[in-house]
Structure 1
Amino acid sequence: MKVVAFAGFSGSGKTTLVERLIPALKLLGLRVSVIKHAHHEFDIDHPGKDSWRHRQAGAFEVVVASSRRLALVREFEREAQLTAHQALAELYPGADWVLVEGFKDSDLLKVEVWRAASGKPALYPEDPFIVAVATDSPEQLPQGTLRPVLDLNDADAVAQWLVDNQDRFDYDPERYS
């Protein structure tokens, strides 16, 4: 399994890039999983549905499974901040690539998504885990870098760069267990 994170401030284009990378990688015959870090409370369940009712009754975990889909909802008894590695441990191991959106403070290899128009600082000068920068304004990067600078608007080229450099992104779950 190959793992790469996409880091950057809100509004930088991480979700759009990941959304475009999924079909680009699938066209290359690769199975893609995604982990998305959510900063706020979220819910995938709907009031009144059986699984929602089970959670309301106090179930720690509810798995909803069909012939086409599986969903797991886990209720933490206390607030918990999962690491990227803990989230990765929850995935089916048969994915070729896992695209991790967020977890910008993790020790995963990352592609920074940066836009000059955002007014936000770049992360790459201070983060040794950033291995490339995807941007729509390379001429405005706040400082030079030897890292590859990728076109944020060309998901096919970013996907090809990932595949061309795939050996760098091998993930060993034993290292983090």
Structure 2
Amino acid sequence: MTGSELKKLLEDSPEECHKLLMKEYGRYVYAIVYNKLRCCGSREDVEECFSDIFAEIFIDFEYREAYKGDIKNYIGTVSKHKAIDFCRRLNTVKGRSVYTEEEDIRQLASDFNVDERVDSSELRRILLDKIDELGEPDSTILIQKFYYDMSSNEIAKNVSMTASSVRSRCSRAMEKLRVKLAAAGITR
């Protein structure tokens, strides 16, 4: 859905627009926030940052006229910046600061490999696309299991299934995913 379509929906029904934005981009935003805050915050911190991001998006979206095309990049940028700011705030409150020697910085810079980063990012994108192709509830189960490290019991509550059903769906979904990845040429 484009920004223009969402803007029209916002005029007709703000509640429906907000629901659609959450449904469409909720997992995407949560993944960004989780990846930024997992080393410095708690689950509550992740949820608070997630809520702050959508509050900012809703307010900004309502009062700006600039949204015409795909808004995924905008949402991703807002999420990344808010999560980084939130992490900085958490580290400041906890009194954490990092001091590095100049030699350490040079070592870090020499270890950075752009080609590996690009390959890893592309592989991650393909993997998420293939998981998404599995459909519901399989995609939700796999993402919650392997990206958010949730237990079968936690996932079962989220998808209204039993824990044993979640485990069997997860096994079948993994097999389907292996086939899809092999068809895409990924066999690692």
Task: Give the TM-score range, shorter chain.
Answer: under 0.3
Say which one has the larger Rg. Answer: 2
TM-score for both structures, normalised by structure 2: 0.27
Greater relative contact order, per chain length (Cα 8 Å cut-off, separation 6+) = 1
Structure with more of its chain in helix, by fraction: 2
